[in-house]
Amino acid sequence: MRLLGYTRVSTTSQDPQLQLDALVSAGVEQRDIFSDVVSGSRKAVDRPAMNHLLDYAASGDTVVVWRVDRLGRSLIDVLNTVNDLQDKGIKIRSIQDGIDPATTTGKLMLNMLATLAEYERELITERVNAGIAAAKQAGTQFGRPPVNPDVIAEKLAVATEARSKGKTAAEAAKLVGWSRATLYRHTKQSDE
């Protein structure tokens, strides 16, 4: 009858300390906390620490999470994870949400919170896409800035001359601040 914790943050710039502190306060031993640094868009079974937790947990154990959305981003993934755990006789507890999916009310709350979390993420995606569209309409250029063809021609001439004097492609490319692949690409483009 162990308490096992699970934390997830999407990027290394995010700090899981809030989740870790909550799990320890809930009685989970530090050694029994499994942590992923991976986007929630990846299914739970595709996350390394979640996989380890699923292999480690046994019937009678309780998996404790800070919030139910740490289990996954989509309702389907959260529910699949909860069902997988429950099928193995493993309980789930969400600290922040106060959810116990072993009860009818807990199942209802789990479904509602997972649905609301998915809805919120979709709204964020819509806002980001609208912002990108507005920026493009306002003339913002995305991606690499265009390179002046005269600069490319000058660098190509320097690299070609260096090659004719016995330098390797890598050495010639380095002279002009390119990689060998960039030199080959520009050489090919100038031959066309």
Active-site positions?
10
Q: How far is CA 126 from the centre of its chain?
A: 18
Q: Give me the sheet containing 62-65, strands edge to edge.
A: 33-37, 3-9, 62-65, 91-94
What's the CA gap between 8 and 10, in Å, rounded?
Answer: 7
How many C-beta neighbours within 10 Å does residue 132 have? 12
Scanning 88-179, the segments in alpha helix (DSSP H) are 104-137, 149-164, 169-175
Instruction: Indicate the helix (H) or strand (E) that contains 171.
Output: helix 169-175
Helix (H, G, I), strand (E, B) or coil at 61: coil
CA distance 158 to 171: 11
- Amino acid at residue number 158: V
Q: How far apart (Å, rounded) are the C-alpha atoms in residues 102 and 66? A: 17
User: Rounded to an integer, what distance in angstroms lies between the CA atom of residue 76 and that of residue 40?
Assistant: 12
